[in-house]
Amino acid sequence: MIKEILKILENDARTTAKQISTMTGTPSDEVAKIIKQAEKDRTILKYKTIINWEKVGDEQVWALIEVKVAPQRDVGFDSIAERIYRFPQARSVYLLSGTYDLLVLVAGKTMHEVADFVSQKLAPIEGVQGTVTHFMLKRYKEDGEILEGREEIRRQPVIL
């Protein structure tokens, strides 16, 4: 049941416990309890929105940074990852397989700000062997949502 509830919330975080109760046939207070518990144990991390900031003329600069690191005895990549993700500028941090190890998504107000973060904070961390910075030029799709030119469903008003 919890998976069903989480699926509904992931799609629309504003769905109320009462609505979920109707959709799943679980009593409303039971749904509320499950959600509370999921918030408490951090299964649900946060409720947020997907916003197209360009619409209000507020453009943030985003960069994807490939980071090559030397793993350390006992802790592997985790301690270096932690040193990186503690910076609020690092919005997402992932460990990947392949030619580099960590992928860090960085947001800043200007290109300069992002570049400064990489050169002054990220690259000098002990164990970081090299970085490659890719600035994001255009966002087409975010979390499953197409930003511009989403197709309309055109249907006749009544079909028997």
Q: Is residue 42 classed as helix, strand or coil in its secondary structure? A: coil
Q: Which is nearer to other proteins, 48 or 150 (CB)?
A: 150
Residue 23 as a binder of other proteins (CB under 8 A): the answer is yes
Lay out the site mask for other proteins across 137-156 (x = CB under 8 A, - = otherwise): --------------x-x-xx
Min dist CB 24 to other proteins, Å, is 7
CA distance 22 to 103: 41
Residues 62-91 interacting with other proteins (rule: CB under 8 A): none
Q: Which residues in 94-123 are b (16+ Cβ under 10 Å) and which e?
A: eeeeeebbbbbebbbeeeeebbebbeeebe
CA distances from 72 to 12, 41, 78, 81 (A): 41, 30, 9, 11
Residue 159 as a binder of other proteins (CB under 8 A): the answer is yes
Residue 19 as a binder of other proteins (CB under 8 A): the answer is yes
Min dist CB 28 to other proteins, Å, is 12
The answer to whether the beta carbons of residues 132 and 104 sit under 8 Å apart is: no
In the complex, which residues of this chain contact other proteins (CB under 8 A)?
7-8, 12, 19, 22-25, 151, 153, 155-160
